[in-house]
A and B are shown apart, each in its own frame.
Chain A
Amino acid sequence: MTDVLLQMQGINKNFPGVQALKEAHFEVRRGEVHALIGENGAGKSTMIKIVSGVYQPDSGDIQLDGRAVHFGNPREAHLAGIATIYQELGLYPELSVAENIFMGHAPMKKRLGLWTIDWEQMESGAEDLLAELNIHDLDVGAKVGTLNVGNRQRVEIAKALSLDAQILIMDEPTAALTESDVEQLFSIVRLLRERGVSIIYISHRLNEVFELADRVTVLRDGETIGTQQVSMTSEAELISMMVGRKIENLFPKQVAQIGDVVLEVRNLQRPPLTRDISFSVRAGEIVGLAGLVGSGRSETAQVIFGVLPAESGEIVINGAPVKINKPSEAVAQGIGYVPEDRGHQGLIREMTIRENTSMAVLETVSRHTFINRAQERSLANRSIQQLSIRATGPEQITNKLSGGNQQKVVVSKWLASEPSLLIMDEPTRGIDVGAKAEIHRLMSRLAAEEGLAILMISSELPEILAMSDRILVMREGRLVGEFSRDEATQETIAHAMMSEAARQAASAAP
């Protein structure tokens, strides 16, 4: 055989109502970073779940190292040297780093005639594994729950290595990481590649694909569209492979008529992450709120929405001062909030599209507190049409939708409440290029045609720059800059986001 480690051919997988994979194929060479990309619903997750033994294909061949294999469950895949690092990390927060790494295969020794865990060996083993990854600053006795996301991910990688993984699957590993954590992750990935570990890397961020991967395979609607050498392709080519069409304008911003002030906040105070915040948003205006993770953007949004009520300060809606101490009061004032954490805060995933879209407007779809299902259903149908949500119908459980479509359901919930101000916290995080453009188009249209005031929080500077009429920058809980659309550039915003110390460090560096 050549250096092909994993070979999948003619893979079919059906779920009731959907063919998730159609004659898909995929191969991974020894010691390469192979990116797997595609829109949500393209079949990436199904593909890796088949590789990792969570699902079994309906038909198709899988060869590992030239031998046909069949994984009946995740454990068999594990034993064959395939480890997966999921988006939701599979660690035990109450246990130590070492215990997590050796979960299920702790080193044992006989003491007083009983097999017990050999704690010393476990800790030194954990230290060795971390050292192999160039990680020297992690206390193996620390509880995993006390670590930040980046460190937890490193623990997970060490855990995979403790099982001698030949193939490491990483599903959106950078989704929740800060910049510096991302850098560290990349260097670990490169280190592993040098050691001959193959990495299947799933990401929505094309720049990561170009930075890290050797080859890239694109899936669309369950089919393999093609595999490319990363050095031989371009971002534009990959996008057109992913969506099957050219996306003309990634950030379609319409010119809007800016109207009266809808929201004005004065000296909002809720330390540590909301300190003396004052700003306003006008009808038809999209105000971008930029800042690093932890700068207090979401917290400020939640102060306005009443999740974290303000300790002092004023909120003025359409000229009238109001008190907002809980979300229901914010909703009553015509504020909608599309939160950052879609699955936990935005949706009730176990419930249907119908039930989710009416969640904020139960009053209006009810008569004498009795919910009118027909009215609810027509509301849901309207949302499905207006936002082109890809679903089997209003009775579909939202959990079964792709990320982009879930986000559209959250947005439609708030549109149903006919808000005058919509706060959108990372509106396009983790959703695919096509759905992203649709959400941007929708935001533009809502502002321009319906005069909706939008406060958009985003960590993506291109999104902030392209969509905003005005840009606010937060740092350490304070508002530290305001830029008009014309004066804002990537540099000015990034500069304002960083602290003095970071700025000095950045300018001191060569």
Chain B
Amino acid sequence: MPSAPRNPTVVEKLRRHLISQEGVLFMIMLVSVLFLATRTDKFLTVDNLLQQGRFMTEVGLIAIPMTYIIITGGIDLSVGSILGLTAIVLGWSWQELGFPLELAIVTGIASGTLAGFVNGLFIVRVGVPPLIMTLATLALFRGLAEGISKARSARGYPEWFFELGQGEFLGIPTQLWLLIVAVLVFGIVLARTQLGRALYAIGNNETGARFSGLTVNRYLLLIYTFSGFMSGVAGYIFVSRVSTTRSDMGTGIELDVIAAVVLGGTSIFGGTGSVAGTMIGVVLIQLLKNGLALSGVTSDATIVVIGSVLIFAILVNNFIQTRRGGD
């Protein structure tokens, strides 16, 4: 029987938000923060939290395109290597090729973007599964970075270069502004635009999306390229933050990024997820790392705790979603 759709009341809306994936995660984050705050008084301070914002920007920026990609049912394992490659190309083209630093930055990010484009091209045109393709380029791009750098690091950047990675604007770390803007813009893009809708459609049923006339290949190429671009930007911020360029930069960052995305409620099988959820995941992981370290927990134990929280969050969430999912 067709029944008229009822408008949900405010209380119902609130409840729905609270038991959404993001809501559950947010609650876990609050509990963790409160708990950590009782362990050490160095944790819950404005300075410390802002400092953590600085540290998590690179993961956060890369996690945005990763969310897009995982929503389509894909994955990009090469982001850490692209970050490293970007950093090396930036340093090398400035120091060895004598590019003006501004141009070197652009060249670095452009090479990251190109790397992402190559991923996308092979995935779309040749049909290589994303996992295989980006696993291959994980090694390939890192190798390139090492080859170009010849194990030398670039340093001695001028003062203005550090503004993005080490400076502040209105009391907040400069790169954090960039992350906030990116999250807002790309969160809205995912939730509200044709691109976003297409990504969800592809993740749920790629054939169905194609048969509806969506330009699936174009969208996929676009998001892998976007992933390269954002990894490139993260590479630039990384160099600016640590004042030097080394070829092993960003090693293993892909796992942090993927963990945050999945923790944030994006299904690894594709079809669901949001940028907001991902960001809660990024923040939660960063705060746990920092808070535990400040409480004197060793780094080995910290990893164990983070792993446990990941599993716990997913369990709680599954429990709530199945309870609710009767409908």
Flag if A392 contacts B2 (CB, 8 Å): yes
Flag if A17 contacts B205 (CB, 8 Å): no
Taking the nearest CB of chain A, how far is it from the CB of B68, in angstroms? 15
18 contacts between A and B (CB under 8 A): A326-B215, A327-B210, A331-B212, A339-B211, A348-B204, A348-B212, A349-B204, A355-B200, A359-B201, A359-B209, A359-B213, A362-B198, A369-B193, A370-B192, A370-B193, A371-B192, A371-B193, A394-B5
Flag if A371 contacts B194 (CB, 8 Å): yes
Encoded as 1 (CB less than 8 Å from any A CB) or 0, chain B from 173 to 212 comes to: 0000000000000000000111101101100110111111
Q: What is the bound-complex CA distance between A413 and B213, given in angstroms?
A: 11
Q: What is the bound-complex CA distance between A72 and B271, given in angstroms?
A: 31
Of B208, B210, B271, B326, the contact of A347 (CB 8 Å cutoff): B208
Instruction: Give the A-binding residues of B (Cβ under 8 A).
Output: 1-5, 192-195, 197-198, 200-201, 204-205, 207-215, 271, 326-327
Q: Does A344 contact B (CB under 8 A)?
A: yes
Flag if A393 contacts B215 (CB, 8 Å): no
Select from chain B the residue with minimum beta-carbon distance to A396. Answer: B5
Q: Does A494 contact B (CB under 8 A)?
A: no
Flag if A349 contacts B210 (CB, 8 Å): no
Flag if B212 contacts A359 (CB, 8 Å): yes
Q: Does A345 contact B (CB under 8 A)?
A: yes
Q: Which residues of A contact B194 (CB under 8 A)?
A: 362-363, 366, 369, 371
The 9 closest A-B pairs by CB, nearest first: A331-B213, A393-B5, A359-B212, A16-B327, A350-B204, A345-B211, A348-B208, A348-B205, A362-B194
Select from chain B the residue with minimum beta-carbon distance to A329. Answer: B213
Q: Does A351 contact B (CB under 8 A)?
A: yes
Of B5, B198, B212, B271, the contact of A392 (CB 8 Å cutoff): B5
Of A16, A331, A359, A395, the contact of B5 (CB 8 Å cutoff): A395
Flag if B208 contacts A345 (CB, 8 Å): yes
Q: Does A125 contact B (CB under 8 A)?
A: no
Q: What is the bound-complex CA distance between A371 and B326, given in angstroms?
A: 30
- Besides the known contacts A394-B5, A413-B212, 14 further A-B residue pairs in the complex with CB atoms under 8 A apart: A326-B210, A327-B212, A328-B215, A330-B213, A331-B212, A331-B213, A344-B207, A348-B204, A348-B208, A348-B212, A359-B201, A359-B209, A360-B212, A370-B193
Flag if A390 contacts B2 (CB, 8 Å): yes
Q: What is the bound-complex CA distance between A191 and B90, given in angstroms?
A: 76
Q: Which residues of B contact A360 (CB under 8 A)?
A: 212-213
Q: Which residues of A contact B210 (CB under 8 A)?
A: 307, 326-327
Interface positions of A from 37 to 64, Cβ below 8 Å from B: none
Q: What is the bound-complex CA distance between A363 and B4, given in angstroms?
A: 29
Q: Which residues of B contact A362 (CB under 8 A)?
A: 194, 197-198, 214
Contact-residue bracket for chain A? 35 or more
Q: Which residues of B contact A331 (CB under 8 A)?
A: 212-213
Q: What is the bound-complex CA distance between A405 and B159, given in angstroms?
A: 66
Flag if A337 contacts B211 (CB, 8 Å): yes
Taking the nearest CB of chain A, how far is it from the CB of B24, in angstroms? 21
Q: What is the bound-complex CA distance between A359 and B1, given in angstroms?
A: 26
Encoded as 1 (CB less than 8 Å from any B CB) or 0, chain A from 336 to 360 comes to: 0101000011111111000100011
Taking the nearest CB of chain B, how far is it from the CB of A437, in angstroms? 19
Taking the nearest CB of chain B, how far is it from the CB of A91, in angstroms? 21
Q: Which residues of B contact A391 (CB under 8 A)?
A: 2
Q: What is the bound-complex CA distance between A339 and B198, given in angstroms?
A: 19
Q: What is the bound-complex CA distance between A327 and B212, given in angstroms?
A: 7
Taking the nearest CB of chain B, how far is it from the CB of A318, in angstroms? 18
Q: Which residues of A contact B213 (CB under 8 A)?
A: 327-328, 330-332, 359-360, 417
Q: Which residues of B contact A345 (CB under 8 A)?
A: 207-208, 211
Select from chain B the residue with minimum beta-carbon distance to A16. Answer: B327
Select from chain B the residue with minimum beta-carbon distance to A339. Answer: B211
Q: What is the bound-complex CA distance between A1 and B41, given in angstroms?
A: 78
Taking the nearest CB of chain A, how far is it from the CB of B43, in angstroms? 40
Taking the nearest CB of chain B, how far is it from the CB of A275, in angstroms? 24
Q: What is the bound-complex CA distance between A350 and B213, given in angstroms?
A: 18
On whether A351 and B3 interact (CB within 8 A), knowing A362-B194, A371-B192, the answer reads: no
Of B3, B198, B200, B208, the contact of A346 (CB 8 Å cutoff): B208
Taking the nearest CB of chain B, how far is it from the CB of A364, in angstroms? 11
Flag if A348 contacts B209 (CB, 8 Å): yes
Q: What is the bound-complex CA distance between A276 and B211, given in angstroms?
A: 24
Taking the nearest CB of chain B, how far is it from the CB of A166, in angstroms? 32
Of A17, A344, A359, the contact of B214 (CB 8 Å cutoff): A359
Select from chain A the residue with minimum beta-carbon distance to B189. Answer: A369
Q: Which residues of A contact B4 (CB under 8 A)?
A: 393
Q: Which residues of B contact A371 (CB under 8 A)?
A: 192-194, 197
Q: Which residues of B contact A330 (CB under 8 A)?
A: 213
Taking the nearest CB of chain A, how far is it from the CB of B196, in angstroms? 8
Q: What is the bound-complex CA distance between A459 and B33, given in angstroms?
A: 64
Select from chain A the residue with minimum beta-carbon distance to B217. Answer: A326
Select from chain A the residue with minimum beta-carbon distance to B211. Answer: A345
Q: What is the bound-complex CA distance between A413 and B207, given in angstroms?
A: 16
